[in-house]
């Protein structure tokens, strides 16, 4: 998703305060003076979901760190990106701290449309046991299973599932895809598991196909099957 822009950012792009925070995350013994507020005072709900999805842009990466437990998994499944440390989490999102209408990283707007969730007895994921299924080559199975199992042993006492829409105004091309001057819209979902009010697992899906269609990379789907005469009523 939008965190992919982080690869273009170096320490030179950061303010002195941001560089200090990053140094502190690389060496946890160093004080960072980053306020990481507690988010466990009330159950999660629609408002907390909207707060999370906009915090990267409205509150800054320093604030976002406080939403996550010390041990966590963050994953964007479409781009096969996984984050498990707060240093990487900070590097992924600090790019948007200094962004504005002319930012090369674009302008991004997210709106949550629905939220489901509840508190629950403390538990962790149930996972498949046993050898690799015979239908899957070992290396293929491990490539998927290792990410799925990552963080599965983290206990949680609350869960949330949100559906959101995303507007991206592109000021430059998007990783080799002509996008400068264009605006794209798509939808996505995020599933989160919390312990003591902080995120321990966070996985996002979003519709890259629709994103790519709007940028002219792939055609829009053909829905001729809806009127396929071969599937009509039989006499």
Per-residue pLDDT tens for 206-219? 999 998 999 999 89
pLDDT at 62: 86
pLDDT at 184: 94
Give me the residues of the chain with pLDDT under 50, please. 30-38, 235
pLDDT at 33: 47
pLDDT at 164: 97
pTM (2 d.p.): 0.82
Q: Which CATH number fits domain 2-123+140-219: 3.40.50.1820, 3.10.450.50, 3.90.25.10, 3.40.50.300?
A: 3.10.450.50
Distance separating alpha carbons of residues 20 and 30, to the nearest angstrom:
10
pLDDT at 31: 44
pLDDT at 32: 44
């Amino acid at each position: 998703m939008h965190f992919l822009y982080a690869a273009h950012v170096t320490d030179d792009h950061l303010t002195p305060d941001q560089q200090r925070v990053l140094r502190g995350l690389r060496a946890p013994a160093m004080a960072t003076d980053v306020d990481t507020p507690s988010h466990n005072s009330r159950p999660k709900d629609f408002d907390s979901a909207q707060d999370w999805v906009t915090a990267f842009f409205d509150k800054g990466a320093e604030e976002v760190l406080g939403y996550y437990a010390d041990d966590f998994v963050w994953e964007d499944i479409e781009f096969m990106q996984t984050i498990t440390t707060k240093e990487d989490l900070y590097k992924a999102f600090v790019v948007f701290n200094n962004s504005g209408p002319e930012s090369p990283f674009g302008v991004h707007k997210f709106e949550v449309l629905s939220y489901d969730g509840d508190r629950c007895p403390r538990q962790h994921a149930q996972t498949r046991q046993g050898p690799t299924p015979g239908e899957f080559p070992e290396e293929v199975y491990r490539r998927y299973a290792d990410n799925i199992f990552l963080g599965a042993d983290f206990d949680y006492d609350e869960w949330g599932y949100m559906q959101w829409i995303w507007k991206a105004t592109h000021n430059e091309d998007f990783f080799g895809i002509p996008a400068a001057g264009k605006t794209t819209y798509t939808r996505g979902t995020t599933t989160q598991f919390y312990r003591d009010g902080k995120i321990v697992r966070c996985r996002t899906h979003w519709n890259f196909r629709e994103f790519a269609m709007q940028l002219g990379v792939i055609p829009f789907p053909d829905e001729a099957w809806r009127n396929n005469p071969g599937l009509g009523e039989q006499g």
